[in-house]
Chain A
Amino acid sequence: MKHIMVVDDEENIRFLYKEELIDEGYEVILASSGNEALELLKTNKPDLITLDIKMPGMDGIETLRRIKEIDKNMPVILCTAYGQYKQDFSSWASDAYVVKSADLEELKTKIKSMLGENK
């Protein structure tokens, strides 16, 4: 079973992603901030991380850099409520980029493709 780490400061979002991804058959680890995510990575090695960009404290971009320092091959999907990061060079370092939506189909498709689960 693949492990997916969800990093988001919004509790309801975390809860939603967790429910949905569990339904998809993944094991889900939750982190409410960049720091918590980096802490959890010491003991866990998820197969994929979804990362919210706009978070209090360490933001998604910085978290992304630190994750890549630890494991440059770790697949990361940046999730944002706002389209502006598409033009930010620093977000290019992520492997995928998803604009948040109530419809989680796009996110799920991206996860599947990155985990090589595509048919």
Chain B
Amino acid sequence: MFSISAKKSLNLLKEIIRISNSTIRVDDRLDAILENISFSFSFKSIALYILDTEKKQIHLKTAKGAGFKNTVNLDEDFIELCKRNKENVIFDKTSKDFKFLISVQEDPAIGKGVLFPIADDKFYYGIIVATLNESEKLGKQSLELMQAITHEIAGTMRNAQLYSNAKDTVNELLVLNDVWNAMSSTLDLDALLDITINKARSCLKAVCGIIKLYQEYGEEEKIVYCNTEMFEQHKLMEICDEIHKEIQETGETVILEDGILEQLNCPTDAVMAAPIIHQGNCIGSVTLFGTEDGSRFEKREKSIFSTIASQISAMIHQALLIDEAKVINREKELMVRELTTLFELNKAVMTTIDLDRLFHIILTAVTIGDGFGFNRAMLFLYNENSGLIQGMMGVGPDSAEDAWKVWSEICEHDKTLKDFVEEKELELPQSKLNEMVKRLRVSIEGTSILGLTVKEKQSFNIKDVSHDPRVNQELLSQLHCRAFATAPLMASGKVVGIILVDNIYNDRVITDDDIRLLTIFANQAGMAIDNSVLYKNLEKTHHQLKEAHNKLVHSEKLAALGEMAAGVAHEIRNPLVSIGGFARRLSRKLEDREESHYVNIICKEVERLEIILNDILVFSREEPLALGTHDINSIIDDTLQFFINDFNKSNITVDKEFEEEVELVEVNFHQLKQVFINLFSNAKHAMEGGGTLKIKSFRTDIEAGAFATVEISDTGSGIPYNIITNIFNPFFTTKDTGTGLGLAITHKIISNYGGDIEVFNNDEGGATFVITLPSKKMEQYNKEGGTL
């Protein structure tokens, strides 16, 4: 019977309590406690097993004496029993459980073993296994002492665990703090990701870390990783992609299971992955491979990792926002620069209306460094009437050597477009290029980019002339360039010309941005050209108007002079007639007398003056009557307009019967109108009490040719027989008022035009005037020269 004295027991407990409350490492404490037990009790050997975190096995922690197994499954009966009852279990050397714990070959003297559970009221931490000789027995007191000791050990372990947990938590916080610090150290996303993955790897003691952002994130894929060697050797990227597919669906952080890792042919069994979420979408993942000590990732690490992943998400969100802001800012800056350039160029273009100077400024704007900086620029004008595109001017160096010379000069003098424009006398380009461009002439029909530019009213950027069937080979043979671009010069929706540019010397690729700006500029330039052309036309028209005005003033002066001369001539004529007349008489009376010579001089001089007078009067005489071809029906209609009111008042109705085929007569419109005025006026007087005026027009073909005939009949009282023969004589009138000249004039006008007028009384009352006029349609009549 083994027993320990009360004093010894007390000392042992005192010592164990001291150890358990010391500040040394927990392992050392357990070691020291076991040492003390071993020393105080007469155990053959003793060992401390601790339950693993998965609570499936116990592991040997420390031992005094040999023969203990390193790992024992928890489901062994006696251990299970010990754990469940939290009581010591004594078992025999022969029991089947014994061999699971202790190899007996080590010490044949060992007869039996005792299991002491290490537990408190809540948890089970492990067991203490002790062995005894066959003959030894543990007294009640010893068992109670061991129980007290194991309780103390449980307390120590609980404290150690709490301490460890607290330390871990602090560590986690430190890790996250590290990540946060890293995050606030830079705004560049790539640098951030790099720092973060490195931090995450080192904090979680992983071997390799990868952050992969897929295209959903915005631009292209982005991969950031540490430990290049492992990354490349094991093709971790492919594994990463597979894992991403897995977690994309759940959106949760996972520690990957062995089965999946085997399938993926993963080089390590410790893999942990977390999704990166941005605006609700899984845009990528962060994955850690392997641990430094070969252990697995645990729950605790998973939660830290999850936190880091969400930090990465937030970081990306922030970086994207900043990126976006940067892009917008950059775009705005670019736009301002573009607008400034355009503004300067347009300002330059507006400085002149001289076409040649304008062309030169436009082309210089396109080629100069602070403009668009093209190597060469050519300007063509499009003539809508002829459908031709004509080269007007070309600006640019003739050869690469020239180009370098010019550019270096420009650099030296730092000459800007503004300086250029401010030069009063612009030297027009004398280059071969200019000569060549001026010779170029292309039709818009057929194949050519120039034609297409005009027809489609849009710009073309020909990046490879040899592979573009639309390029005109003839034009190309003149240009020699490999790529070029065109932009239409637009004005009021019409193409007025084309700008063609290339970068033949420095081979700079013409970008879409270049084209966009060039097109905007070309619109402005087109308007400037249009304005210039308009101004030129305006100037020309103004000049013509001025000339016409001058002529008019001149002719007005002449007319006034003529009128005055005529007046003077008239006043002079009468005295001249007297002077000359009497001189002639005198000359005749004097006959051969000496004095007749003097009188003859007077006669001659008067004759001369009369000739001058006649000349003046001929000069100032009114223009002869203007003849024109007129539709006789329309002359009648025109005249009737005058009479509408009169006829209505007198209750006279008009009955028109015009032949549809229009009869043309060559007359003076106003004279013929006078004829109808006279006839209608007479008819009105003849029908004071009302009646019908019948007007009939038709064509008559007689031997002499075709005539237009108009019959005008009234329903008046007719013309008395005694006066009907005199009716066309001058000053013959039956009216109280009137000169009696109306019908005489009518007769004279009609016969002047080779026509005739007749009158007769109708059987049913009233009179009819019949006018015939030669019809214009009669070619025969025209050939004879018509004595109008």
Q: Which residues of chain A have a CB within 8 Å of any CB of chain B?
A: 10, 12-13, 15-16, 19-20, 23, 54, 64-65, 68-69, 72, 81-84, 87, 89-90, 92-93, 100-104
Indicate if B302 sits at the interface (CB-CB under 8 A): no
Output the least CB separation between B677 and chain A (Å): 13
Indicate if B748 sits at the interface (CB-CB under 8 A): yes
Tally of B interface residues using CB under 8 Å: 35
Q: A10-B578, A13-B577, A83-B621 are in contact. List 14 more A-B contacts (CB 8 A).
A: A10-B574, A12-B578, A12-B582, A16-B577, A19-B585, A68-B731, A69-B731, A84-B621, A84-B622, A90-B739, A92-B745, A100-B573, A102-B576, A102-B584
- Kindly report which residue of chain B lies nearest to residue A54, judged by CB atoms: B570
> Which residues from B are CB-within-8-Å of A82?
566, 569-570, 573, 617
> Which residues from A are CB-within-8-Å of B745?
89-90, 92
By DSSP majority rule, is chain A's interface helix, strand, loop, or mixed?
A: helix
Asked if A102 and B579 make an inter-chain contact with CB atoms under 8 angstroms apart, the answer reads yes
> Which residues from A are CB-within-8-Å of B585?
16, 19-20, 23
> Which residues from A are CB-within-8-Å of B729?
72
Report B726-765 residues with CB < 8 Å from chain A CB. Answer: 726, 729-732, 739-741, 744-745, 748
- Kindly report which residue of chain A lies nearest to residue B613, judged by CB atoms: A81
Do A93 and B730 contact each other (CB < 8 Å), given the known contacts A83-B621, A101-B610, A102-B583? Answer: yes
Do A93 and B731 contact each other (CB < 8 Å), given the known contacts A54-B570, A65-B739? Answer: yes
- Kindly report which residue of chain B lies nearest to residue A95, judged by CB atoms: B730
> Which residues from A are CB-within-8-Å of B566?
82, 84
Asked if A92 and B617 make an inter-chain contact with CB atoms under 8 angstroms apart, the answer reads no
Report B288-334 residues with CB < 8 Å from chain A CB. Answer: none
Contact code string B372-405 (vs A, CB < 8 Å = 1, else 0): 0000000000000000000000000000000000
Bound CA span A13–B610, Å: 16
- Kindly report which residue of chain A lies nearest to residue B572, judged by CB atoms: A81
- Kindly report which residue of chain A lies nearest to residue B618, judged by CB atoms: A83
> Which residues from B are CB-within-8-Å of A68?
730-731, 740
Bound CA span A103–B582, Å: 10
A-B contact pairs, 30 of them (CB 8 A): A12-B578, A13-B574, A13-B581, A16-B581, A20-B581, A20-B585, A65-B731, A65-B740, A65-B741, A81-B574, A82-B569, A82-B570, A82-B573, A83-B617, A83-B618, A84-B621, A89-B744, A89-B745, A90-B739, A90-B741, A92-B748, A93-B741, A101-B580, A102-B577, A102-B580, A102-B607, A103-B584, A103-B607, A104-B581, A104-B584
Bound CA span A19–B583, Å: 12
- Kindly report which residue of chain B lies nearest to residue A52, judged by CB atoms: B574
- Kindly report which residue of chain A lies nearest to residue B747, judged by CB atoms: A92
Report B607-654 residues with CB < 8 Å from chain A CB. Answer: 607, 610, 617-618, 621-622
Bound CA span A12–B581, Å: 10
- Kindly report which residue of chain B lies nearest to residue A81, judged by CB atoms: B573
Asked if B617 and A103 make an inter-chain contact with CB atoms under 8 angstroms apart, the answer reads no
> Which residues from B are CB-within-8-Å of A102?
576-577, 579-581, 583-584, 603, 606-607, 610
> Which residues from B are CB-within-8-Å of A72?
726, 729, 731-732
Bound CA span A93–B748, Å: 10
Bound CA span A72–B741, Å: 13
- Identify the interface centre among A54, A82, A102: most chain B CB within 10 Å of its CB: A102
> Which residues from B are CB-within-8-Å of A64?
731
- Kindly report which residue of chain A lies nearest to residue B732, judged by CB atoms: A72
> Which residues from B are CB-within-8-Å of A100?
573-574, 577
Report B536-594 residues with CB < 8 Å from chain A CB. Answer: 566, 569-570, 573-585
> Which residues from B are CB-within-8-Å of A90?
739, 741, 745
> Which residues from B are CB-within-8-Å of A92?
730, 744-745, 748
Asked if B581 and A89 make an inter-chain contact with CB atoms under 8 angstroms apart, the answer reads no
Bound CA span A83–B619, Å: 11
Report B517-541 residues with CB < 8 Å from chain A CB. Answer: none
**Which 7 pairs from chain A and chain B are nearest by CB?**
A102-B580, A93-B730, A81-B573, A12-B578, A68-B731, A16-B581, A89-B745
- Kindly report which residue of chain A lies nearest to residue B625, judged by CB atoms: A87
> Which residues from A are CB-within-8-Å of B731?
64-65, 68-69, 72, 93
> Which residues from A are CB-within-8-Å of B570?
54, 81-82
Do A13 and B744 contact each other (CB < 8 Å), given the known contacts A65-B731, A83-B621, A102-B583? Answer: no
Output the least CB separation between A84 and chain B (Å): 7
Report B151-203 residues with CB < 8 Å from chain A CB. Answer: none
- Identify the interface centre among B569, B618, B730, B744: most chain A CB within 10 Å of its CB: B730
- Kindly report which residue of chain A lies nearest to residue B730, judged by CB atoms: A93
Output the least CB separation between B408 and chain A (Å): 84
Output the least CB separation between B727 and chain A (Å): 13
Q: Which residue in B606, B621, B748 is a CB contact (below 8 Å) of A89?
A: B748
Asked if A13 and B580 make an inter-chain contact with CB atoms under 8 angstroms apart, the answer reads no
Bound CA span A69–B734, Å: 11
Bound CA span A28–B149, Å: 187
> Which residues from A are CB-within-8-Å of B726?
72
Bound CA span A1–B578, Å: 26
- Kindly report which residue of chain B lies nearest to residue A93, judged by CB atoms: B730
> Which residues from B are CB-within-8-Å of A54?
570
- Identify the interface centre among A13, A68, A83, A92: most chain B CB within 10 Å of its CB: A83
> Which residues from A are CB-within-8-Å of B578?
10, 12-13, 15-16
> Which residues from B are CB-within-8-Å of A10?
574, 578
> Which residues from B are CB-within-8-Å of A20?
581, 585
Bound CA span A82–B575, Å: 13
> Which residues from A are CB-within-8-Å of B603?
102
> Which residues from B are CB-within-8-Å of A101?
577, 580, 610
Bound CA span A65–B569, Å: 27
Asked if B580 and A103 make an inter-chain contact with CB atoms under 8 angstroms apart, the answer reads yes
Output the least CB separation between B247 and chain A (Å): 114
Bound CA span A25–B556, Å: 49
> Which residues from A are CB-within-8-Å of B607?
102-103
- Kindly report which residue of chain A lies nearest to residue B742, judged by CB atoms: A89
Asked if A87 and B622 make an inter-chain contact with CB atoms under 8 angstroms apart, the answer reads yes
Output the least CB separation between A73 and chain B (Å): 10
- Kindly report which residue of chain A lies nearest to residue B729, judged by CB atoms: A72
Output the least CB separation between A20 and chain B (Å): 7
